[in-house]
Structure 1
Amino acid sequence: KIILIHIYDYINLLPTFSGVMVIISDGFFDILEERRRSSDLSHAFRTFNPQPFCGATPISAAALNRMVLESQYLSYIIQEIMVECDEPREALLEEASVLLDEMSQNLQLGFIRLLGFALSKVFKSVFSSIHVNEDGLTRLQQAIQEYPVILMPNHRSYVDFLVLSYIMFTYDLSIPVIAAGIPLMGMKLIGEIFRRSGAFFIRRAIGSDKLYWAVLSEYVRTIVRTGYAPLEFYVEGLRSRTLKSLTPKLGMMHMVLEPFFKGEVFDISLVPISISYERVLEESLLAHELLGVPKPKETTGALLKARTVLKEDYGCMHVCFGNPVSVRDLVKGNINRRQYNLVARDLPMKPSKETQEFVSGLAHMIIRLQERNVVLSAWNLMAVVLLQNLQGIDLDLLTHKTLWLRRLALRFGAHLMWPSKDVVSLHHSVVCCERGRVYLMEEEGPGPVTQEEGVFRRAAAVLMCASYRNQAVHVFTRPAMVAVAMITAARNRTDDVFHHFKFLLELFSNEFVLIPGQAVQDFEEGCSLLQQSGVIGRSDEEIYVRDNGQEIIIFLRAILQPFIESYQVIVVIYTVVQAVLHLHWRSYECLSSDLQKNVLSALLRMAAVTKTTV
């Protein structure tokens, strides 16, 4: 708990970017503006001379692979497998070499230039602007020269890693090597371009494959240890289909930190990166995936068929590079690294419970920092209002409520980008305006539809809108939980409200990113924001709603209502559909497969249900 409290305090000490309301002039610059004025070809083939990590010795991708195959660590693991499985050493070495060839990147500047030229064309076509905070890039440039750097962006779209590499190339920063899913490798031609642009490919289902784990972990550690290039990976593990932050996956996190724990590098800089889309390219695809429609296979043919997106306007994008986080600073006084001196560096060592707690807390902290620097648009706030008015809402009233919510969001510390264009027109795939009233758009299909089909079409529209609300939900999560706890608690005593708040934290620990063991800090944060906004008052032992705070309390409760309702239903899709049809529930979000998985995980963890094999 001491470790986690230290991490929580570190979050509060780290500054976010300047100002509470982000305007383009506040350190953000549109990198496409110059591209619209000058030659894309000259940009792609200009002199590119990034400043590398000062402790790095330039090596080729092939030399990097040889270091992995010749490492004492891999040799030790192969020896263990030989004993366990009675396989010859030569066969295991050959298998390790094949795995490494499948996995490894082959970064080449020529392919970066090719990709840079192509992406200039694509980005100018689909985005009106891509805004980047240049002060963050200045800090990143300094960090790259001093220590190994780990880039840790949130993951909302397939475009994420392309945008980051494009920005790094544009600003003469070292091109990162990127952990990517193995399906991308299978795309003819495109997979090889990605590999030669820095992507290394990881299987999604590794399971207990001891040799694969050994090759992957040694490959990652060698990249970090040698300072070969900045390493980029998604701490959430997967692309978020709900556009809401996912709880972190810790496997890669342990791999990148181990060289520091073992004293092989002096420090490691973790750079949280927040990518915000005004409109996401995969918005319809994500909603249908959540409803059980199979995800399209990632192929070159599918990519070519998707080229129709080039004709659409996806608005602007913001990319905020956060302050580099020093692992060395966080470890001080929290982990006794002497334990790593008891085992040779080349030998595997299971992390202690203390180390596991630290890594988990650090991963959660990175996601919190990503959330803090997300730039929200007016549409994100409009989506919050629309989901509380599923039967439609007058445009004037929608505008009024959005402006009201804007003031509340700013008081809660949100960063906003206010539009210079018609938001409803930009999001024509989600909403429409008829006779001064705004409605959610539903898909049209041939012929009549059954009631069940009607529910799923309506659900797709709701989930598309909900994905944009989810981009803003972190701003309101803790105050909203306090609001719900105040309503459900029998008395206004602080202890009673906190008890209900803590239950909500545990229930929704898979739904929202909450640092484990920080219930008191989260409660105080939620109460403080409500108190500063004039919503609640506090005495020594009680919390009460002020006379003018009732509207905000009701509104905040409504934000959590879809999640609360979804956790009340039996997670069987047929039962859920019937509930929507016959019980007149309006929480179409309970049809989301991701939310259903979170419900089951929470109920299992809280021992409310048991899991049996049929």
Structure 2
Amino acid sequence: MFPPKIFRHFFPHQTNSRSLKTLAIALNSARGVRGVTWEQRVEYYNMREEFPKPRHTIGPGLKDEEEFTDILEERRCTTDLGYALRTFNPQPYKGAPSSSTSDLKKAVLESQYLRYIAKEIALETGSSVEKVRQEARGILEEMSHNLQLGFIRLMAYTVNKVFKRLFRSIYVNMEGLNMLQQAIQESPVILMPNHRSYVDFLIVSFILFTYDIPIPVIAAGIPLASMKVVGEILRRSGAFFIRRAIGSDKLYWAVLSEYVRTIVRTGCAPLEFYVEGFRSRTLKSVVPKLGMMDMVLEPYFKGEVFDITLVPISISYDRVVEESLLALELLGVPKPKESTTGLFKASRVLQEDYGCMHVNFGRPLSVRQLCEGKINRSEYNLIPRDLPQRPSTEIQDCVNWVAHLIVRTQEEGSLISPWSLMACLLLQAPITTLTEEGLQWHGLTEKTLWLRKLVLDFRGRLNWPDSDVMSSTVALHHSIVHHKAGRVCLVQDGDPASQDPLSPEEGVMRTAAAVLMLVSYRNQALHVFVRPGILATAIHITKSTQKDELFSFFCFLRDVFANEFIFIPGRASQDFAEACSLLQKCGAVHMSEQEVTVLETGLEVLSFLQKLLQPFLDSYQLIFRYLCENGAHVFTEKQFLPAVQNLATKLILSGDLHTFEVLSSDTQKNVLSALRRLEAVTKLRASQQNEYKVNKAAVRRTGDILCKIICDIPVKIKLLFCVRLENFVLFFTLLSLK
């Protein structure tokens, strides 16, 4: 509620606090009361900016504390209709033409690039050019947005209502928002949020509408377009829709790339897309997809724009709306098809509390500055701009580097909740303790406070609003754990309508669903720990103090886990230096020019970090074992995923495997991608069923090294192992593993 002086401005004769409260309710409701005119209501709404908004300081222990504003606080004190109908006066890019969506489509269809591609396809297929152009027109109609302010207001009205039900607060860093507002006026802007929830699709436009910043056009999956009514509302709110399986459809690629490039080139609206390509089902960052990234950067490479501004946006949730759905998807349950009916069925989520959301607008990044010294743009001067041109290796490497930099910046801008820290600790307990006895509450809170200090030492951003936050966060996540009689236990939901006892395999899957929900929240904090964690693992297995030996093993693990965690290409040395610095800062190791020495005071930190990565090591080793022992040298992805899951289930039931994370389809696919990158598995190009051929000897060599990590077997080994790492071959010799 706003200060009483606001209402005294309208009603100076009222001095009674109860009367002022009644008037406040009247002004903020749609009904009104006797004596309150619409003119007074509008005057109140228009002057609300003169009064300070509630602020929230984030980042205890950070060098630069940031102020976040709760944008829902004001929304709760005003009418939804008044908010949606407010004056919207954005300041667009100064070079943008005043054009409509039909002008945009016309520019795409009449571009020299699309005309050239249409002629090429006509020659290849024997069709007429006009027929190909007609097909291109149909693709564009299916794809293009139809942004209209009236529908933005409709979305604002609806989303405002929904967000007030779902979230306690939505915090936004105002400094980042102000920098964005300035950047939009100076160059074409690309908004690049991380993607953890369907809510991400709405939140950025909601914030920009609130603060009079131009509404972005947003890249979305084509299934959303097929939702009755909702699909058209999204299209008119700025969404343009892309097919998921484009494959080698030359015409579709041409229409899409020209459409995106025209938006960037003209700067008619900010462009928003998810560099990760899709929603992360594990709540940790996904290796970026480069298709859209290449399209948005090409106008700069070709000299069609002076500069492009990239804005990383980090969206952090206390609790994700789809948490249970994500776990089931990872276990192989098909994702429900997007539909309007399904949307209404999901309305029960409005009865739940999802805590707070933090939206951190990162510092705008100039593409011109990022690419300086990395590329030679003169190669684009050799042929006309309108003709298609395959990018050079130098350009591809630059695009890949920028994409990884964006995702890493998103990670650094995200806020870690106390629940993420508690999840890290809960998952290091034996599964029987989690499901039966439970962890002692006092011990868990003490260890969480210890971990909080470690996160701050590692320069992580924490959302720690008050001293009671641990109790409230466990209550918020009642669907995952319950706190009773001084202990915290994992919740395992069964089907109350079923009278039949669960089979052992069903019991494993039920426990796995609960564990994977917990894992997803642990994953939100992994980016802070992964580099020192890899170094801690290297120290543990090599038993070496020599920096060069530790660096070699660090690079090996970094490359193996390049699909699990985000590493910027070409920065292995910087990552190693960062890991050394962080471990030294928290008192775990002592550094000299040639050596890294473990200190007695650092054993607890190193043990925690090793256990944090242990599930990944266990999962990879199991899958390597499956590939080596399976008789077939060629397999399909459809055969691979259930076979690994069946093997893991049997080993869990026998007590030979203690991690449930290997049951996750994402982990299994990441292992496959890692082996392809290490050239131990190759994808058969002629296959229509995603067939792979395995080099069992190469898989076995990699698995042997990980096996030494897991089992810690005393062994004397001399091994020359070669792995491809960032376009060069890294040779390292592991000597005298003790």
- Equivalent positions of 1:473-488 (< 5 A) are 473-488=526-541
User: How far off is 1:246 after superposition?
Assistant: 0.4
User: How far off is 1:584 after superposition?
Assistant: 4.0
**Secondary structure at 2:488's aligned position in 1?**
strand
Which residue is equivalent to 1:567? 620
User: How far off is 1:543 after superposition?
Assistant: 1.1
Task: Say whether 1:327 aligns with 2:345.
Answer: no
Aligned residue type for 2:441: L
Aligned residue type for 2:483: C
User: How far off is 1:585 after superposition?
Assistant: 2.1
- Equivalent positions of 1:522-601 (< 5 A) are 522-570=575-623, 572-601=644-673
- Which of residues 58, 67, 85 in structure 2 aligns to 1:45? 85
User: How far off is 1:605 after superposition?
Assistant: 2.3
**Secondary structure at 1:579's aligned position in 2?**
helix
- Which of residues 184, 187, 190 in structure 1 aligns to 2:227? 187
Aligned residue type for 1:383: A
Task: Say whether 1:470 aligns with 2:523.
Answer: yes
Which residue is equivalent to 1:385? 425
Whether the aligned pair in 2 keeps the contact of 1:20 and 1:414 (CA below 8 Å) is no
**Secondary structure at 1:369's aligned position in 2?**
helix
Which residue is equivalent to 1:415? 461
**Secondary structure at 1:292's aligned position in 2?**
coil
Deviations 1:86-110 (A, max 9, x none): 1111111110000000000000000
Distance 2:279 2:494 in 1: 28
Task: Say whether 1:604 aligns with 2:676.
Answer: yes
Distance 1:337 1:83 in 2: 31
Distance 2:540 2:267 in 1: 53
Whether the aligned pair in 2 keeps the contact of 1:22 and 1:416 (CA below 8 Å) is no
Which residue is equivalent to 1:426? 476
Task: Say whether 1:460 aligns with 2:513.
Answer: yes
Moved over 6 A (4+): 22-25
- Which of residues 572, 576, 579 in structure 2 aligns to 1:519? 572
Deviations 1:412-461 (A, max 9, x none): 01111114551111000111112111011111122310110000010001
**Secondary structure at 1:375's aligned position in 2?**
coil
- Equivalent positions of 1:164-563 (< 5 A) are 164-389=204-429, 390=431, 391=433, 392-420=438-466, 422-445=472-495, 446=498, 447-563=500-616
Distance 1:147 1:338 in 2: 22
Whether the aligned pair in 1 keeps the contact of 2:62 and 2:456 (CA below 8 Å) is no
Deviations 1:158-210 (A, max 9, x none): 01020111001001000000000001001100000000000000000000000
User: How far off is 1:58 after superposition?
Assistant: 1.2
Whether the aligned pair in 1 keeps the contact of 2:59 and 2:463 (CA below 8 Å) is no
Residue ranges of structure 2 left out of the alignment (5+ in a row): 1-56, 627-643, 685-690, 693-738
Deviations 1:325-367 (A, max 9, x none): 0001122222111111111111111111111111100000001
Aligned residue type for 2:157: F
User: How far off is 1:609 after superposition?
Assistant: 4.4
Structure 1 residues 18 and 394: CA distance shift in structure 2, 3 A: closer
Distance 2:62 2:317 in 1: 15
- Equivalent positions of 1:80-95 (< 5 A) are 80-95=120-135
- Equivalent positions of 1:70-149 (< 5 A) are 70-149=110-189
- Greater alpha carbon shift after TM alignment, 214-223 vs 582-591: 582-591
Which residue is equivalent to 1:7? none
Structure 1 residues 355 and 406: CA distance shift in structure 2, 3 A: same
Distance 2:528 2:60 in 1: 13
Deviations 1:2-53 (A, max 9, x none): xxxxxxxxxxxxxxx9855579993100000001111111111011010000
Distance 1:605 1:150 in 2: 30
Task: Say whether 1:33 aligns with 2:33.
Answer: no
Structure 1 residues 18 and 377: CA distance shift in structure 2, 3 A: closer
Distance 1:147 1:161 in 2: 23
Structure 1 residues 46 and 611: CA distance shift in structure 2, 3 A: closer
**Secondary structure at 2:220's aligned position in 1?**
strand
Aligned residue type for 2:674: A
User: How far off is 1:384 after superposition?
Assistant: 0.5
**Secondary structure at 2:387's aligned position in 1?**
coil
Structure 1 residues 296 and 19: CA distance shift in structure 2, 3 A: closer
- Greater alpha carbon shift after TM alignment, 390-399 vs 211-220: 390-399
Aligned residue type for 2:419: W
User: How far off is 1:583 after superposition?
Assistant: 3.0
User: How far off is 1:492 after superposition?
Assistant: 1.8
Structure 1 residues 19 and 127: CA distance shift in structure 2, 3 A: closer
**Secondary structure at 2:421's aligned position in 1?**
helix
Distance 1:567 1:546 in 2: 30
> TM (normalized to structure 2)?
0.80
Distance 2:58 2:357 in 1: 18
User: How far off is 1:601 after superposition?
Assistant: 1.5
Aligned residue type for 2:479: S
User: How far off is 1:502 after superposition?
Assistant: 0.9
- Greater alpha carbon shift after TM alignment, 603-612 vs 589-598: 603-612
Distance 1:518 1:586 in 2: 34
Which residue is equivalent to 1:58? 98
Whether the aligned pair in 2 keeps the contact of 1:377 and 1:419 (CA below 8 Å) is no
**Secondary structure at 1:247's aligned position in 2?**
coil
Whether the aligned pair in 2 keeps the contact of 1:381 and 1:405 (CA below 8 Å) is yes
Whether the aligned pair in 2 keeps the contact of 1:23 and 1:417 (CA below 8 Å) is no
User: How far off is 1:493 after superposition?
Assistant: 1.2
Percent identical residues: 60
Q: Relative contact order, CA 8 A, sep 6+: which one is greater?
A: 1
Aligned residues between the structures: 598
Distance 1:373 1:399 in 2: 25
Deviations 1:535-579 (A, max 9, x none): 101223221110100010000001101111000113621111111
Deviations 1:230-288 (A, max 9, x none): 00000000100000000000000010011111111110000000000000000000000
**Secondary structure at 2:670's aligned position in 1?**
helix
> TM (normalized to structure 1)?
0.95
Which residue is equivalent to 2:32? none
Distance 2:91 2:579 in 1: 43
User: How far off is 1:611 after superposition?
Assistant: 5.5
Aligned residue type for 1:444: G
